[in-house]
Structure formats: C-alpha cells, structure tokens
Amino acid sequence: MIGKITEIKTQIKSKERVSIFIDGAYRFSVHMDVLIDYGLSVGSEVSEVLLEQIESKDELKKAYAKGLDIVSRRLHTEKEVRDKLKDKEYGVLTINKTIEKLKEYGYIDDKVFLEHYLSFKAKTQGPRKIKYDLKKKGIANHLIDYALEDLKDDAYSNCMVLAMSRLEGMSDTLEMSKKYRRLAGFLERKGFDFATVKEVLRDLKLKPYG
C-alpha cells in the first residue's frame, strides 16, 4: 500500500486534469475521467498495483486525445499516426490500443486514405511515384497495386497533359534535343515510366536530336 489520498487539486493549465496528493505530498496527475472511473476521492487508499493501472489508463486517454488531434488536421494512414505517437514516446501497448480505437470509430482507414490520395495525385503524378509515396506512408502493397491497376489507362493521358503544360513554358528558340531531355527528365521525376514518357514525347513530335 502506498498511502491515502489527502488532497485532489484541479490543475491551473488544464481544468480536465487533477493533481493527486498522497499523505500530504504530491504523487501524480490524472485526467478527471480516470479519477471518476476508479472512484477515487480524498480518503481513498492507493496501492502500487492500482497506481500502475491508473497511470496506464491515463496514458491511454492522453494518447487517444493526441491521436484525435492528429487525424482532425487531415487524413492519415495507420503508419503515420503510429509514427507520430511513437515520437511522443507512448508505449507500444498504448499505441496499439489507441490505433485500434481510432480504427474502430473510423478515424483511421487506409482504404479511404488511398482513395482520397489518388483523387488528388493521380493527375499530377505517375504510377511509379504514387506507389513509392504510398509505400512510405505504410499502405499495404496489395491495396496499392489494386488501386494503380485502375490508373493504367489514364497514365498516358495524364502524362500528356503534364508534358503539354510544361512544353508551353519552354522557349521556342530552345533546341529540340534540349526540350526532349528536359521534358523526359521532368516526366520521369513525376513518376511516369520510360515507355509512357517515350510514347508521349513521340506523339508531341519531339526527338532526342535535332
């Protein structure tokens, strides 16, 4: 047994948290909801085991609040949220429980993220770059491959639109070979494969020489 709660004081910076004093000395702080869940009040006796349980539940509540703050700003993948919680030094078990709860309430859904991401990026990036970026964000390979399968038919037209826009900004006096190289480099950096880029440049009547 650690001792008896002698004072519970609301914190100045956060009205939802309280400071717990045991036997006249400050011992820990906790969210008011956790305090209520355990039925703690002045006079309650606190053991080491109970304290560990309280601290674990309080950490989970803080982690979940942080998770909600993260997903409220924009859509995130599971990996992105997990990494941000790791940066805040929450424990693995706490993070797993937080992720599970966020997924349960629909705040994290990699399929939804994927659809949203493609709706914005598919017309300005090629499949190769999209796949690379999505893998970094932790989207499963089978989800990426399935989604990109639907984009195959649009790759040429998206590449052509970007090429034409870029070409309009080039000087008319620029040598064809330089236009070709610059445009090819630009389109490949955007993530289009060489075969698609080559086809687009051919249809734009550009050659690597002349």
pLDDT at site 210: 60
- Cβ pair 63, 90 in contact under 8 A: yes
What is residue 150's predicted lDDT score, i.e. its pLDDT? 80
Residues 26 and 4 in one domain: yes
Predicted local distance difference test score (pLDDT) of residue 149: 87
70 within some domain: yes
HEC readout, 91-151: CHHHHHHHHHHHHHCCCCCHHHHHHHHHHHHCCCCCHHHHHHHHHHCCCCHHHHHHHHHCC
Residue 163 domain flag:
yes
137 plus 176 within the same structural domain: no
Does 208 map to a domain?
A: no
Helices (runs of H) and strands (runs of E) counted in the chain: 10, 4
Number of domains in the chain: 4
- 101 and 67 fall within a common domain: yes
Domain of residue 38 covers 1-46
Residues 144, 134 share a domain:
yes
Q: Do 16 and 35 fall into the same domain?
A: yes
pTM: predicted TM-score of the whole model, two decimal places: 0.81
Task: Establish how many alpha carbons lie within 13 A of residue 166's alpha carbon, considering only the half-sphere containing its beta carbon.
Answer: 20
Name every residue whose Cβ is closer than 8 Å to that of residue 20 and which is 6 or more positions away in sequence.
5, 7, 8, 26, 27, 28, 29, 30, 35, 40, 46
Closest Cα to residue 88, out of 55, 66, 57? 66
Rounded to whole angstroms, the Cα distance separating 82 from 99 reads 7
CATH code at 35?
A: 1.10.10.10
Q: CA 140: distance to chain centroid?
A: 14
Chain length of the chain: 210
Exposure on the CB side of residue 134, measured as CA atoms within 13 A:
29
Helix axes 152-168, 176-189, angle to 10 degrees: 130
The pLDDT value recorded for residue 92 is: 95
Same domain, 58 and 97: yes
Q: Indicate if 61 and 89 belong to the same structural domain.
A: yes
Distance CA 167, CA 136 (A): 31
CB 84 within 8 Å of CB 122: no
Q: Name the residue among 158, 115, 120 with its Cα closest to residue 139.
A: 115
Tens digits of pLDDT across the chain (210 residues): 689 999 999 998 888 999 999 999 999 899 999 999 999 999 999 999 999 999 999 999 999 999 999 999 999 999 999 999 999 999 999 999 999 999 999 999 999 999 999 988 988 999 999 999 999 999 999 999 998 888 888 899 999 999 999 999 988 888 999 999 999 999 999 999 999 999 999 999 998 876
